[in-house]
Structure 1
C-alpha cells in the first residue's frame, strides 16, 4: 500500500502533479494510488455524499493494466462529474431520478473522457450534482444533498458540488466539472479550491456533443493547485 513509501494522510493532500511525479519516479504505483483513493472515498464519502457512483473495481483494473496510458498524469485518480463527460459502460444520471431509476449507462467514452484517459487518469467514480446542472447548490432528489467538507452544515455550491467536495476532502486531487454560469467557479469558491472556466473552444466536447450549449458552457476540472489546473488544461485542450 501507499503507506510503505508515503503515508496516506500525506498522500491525500498531494496535488495531481506531485502524485504523477511519484509514479514516474517509481516511489508509488498506479495501483497504490488507486487503492489509497478508494480507501479515502469509502472513509469520508458517507458524511459528504460527494461520490454517487463508485467505480472502484474498474479503477483497480485500470490502474493495474499494462495498457494504462503513459500520459503526464499516469496513475493519478480522478472523479467525473455525472454530466456530459461520460465513461464507457458506466451510469450517467445528470442528477435525474428518471435516468437513475432506468439504470441508464453510456456505451462509450465521451471525447473529453477519452482525453482524460489518454492523460493517464484513473476514474474512481462519478460525483453528485443538481438535476441537469441547474442550481448553485447540490441537492438533487435523485441522490440527496452533498455537504461541504469544511462545514457539513453548509453547501459545497454547484453545480459541480460533488466534485468540489471530493477534492476539498482529499478523496482525489482532481475532479471533472463544467461551467456555464459559475458551475466550476462557485463550488471552487465555496470549498477553497482552484476553479477556472476556460476560454471558449479550449476544451472540446468533440463530435458527440459539439457545442450544444453554445459558447457559454465549458469543460475543465477542480483542483487544489494552480499548476494542476494549468497542466490539465494543457493536456486536454481541444482547438
Structure 2
C-alpha cells in the first residue's frame, strides 16, 4: 500500500525543498528554552515583508499572531519553519536558525498551513507519510483531529474528494502522530465550523500541553486561548500583550 504512494510523497518533498538541504550544520536534537528573534528582515524583490521584528517566544508558550492581510503573519511562520531566507537573527536555544540542520528542524517543528497537502491515495498513506504507525495510533489521531468523515483507513481520498475542512482535519491528524515540539498553525483550522474548530484546538492544546504553539487565527475566540498575542502591521510588531488587550488594540487601530 505504502509503496504506491512513495512517488507522490517524494514529489511533495521536492516541492517543499526538503531534500538534500545541506546548508545547516548545527545539531538541535530538542527544543529546551526559547526562540529569540532580533531585527528580522524579509524581502521579496523590492518588497519588504518583515521590517525589524523583535520577539522572544518561550518553550511551552501559546503565542497568537494577528493582523490584517499582508501584515506578515504567514511570512513570519515560514521563516521560523526554515522555508524563507532572512536577515537579522532568529535563534533557537542560542543557535542561529539558518545554521541548524534542516533534518533537525523538521523533527522539532511542524508548520500547518491553510491549504495542506492531501495526495491521491488512502487515508492510511496520507497519515503515515512513509513512517509506519500502529492502526490504533492512526485511529486515535483521526479522532482527536475530528475526522469523523473517515470510515476506513483504506478509504480513498484526494484533494478533489475532500472539502477544505476535511483536508485540514486530515492534516491535523498528522500533527498528533508526529508530536513536534514547536507547532506552527497558519489559519490551519479556518475551514472548520466554530464548534468543530474549538473541539480540535482544545484537543491540540490538551494533547500537547507542554509544547510550544505559534498560532495565526481569524477567530478572536482562538486567540483568547493563547498566553500572549502579537499584533503585526505592515511587517512590524505594533503590540504584544495579553490576548484581550491585543484584540482591543487591533480593533481600535486605524
Normalising by structure 1, we get a TM-score of: 0.32
Which structure has the greater CA radius of gyration? 2
The normalised TM-score by structure 2 is 0.31
Larger RCO of the pair (alpha carbons < 8 Å, separation 6+): 2
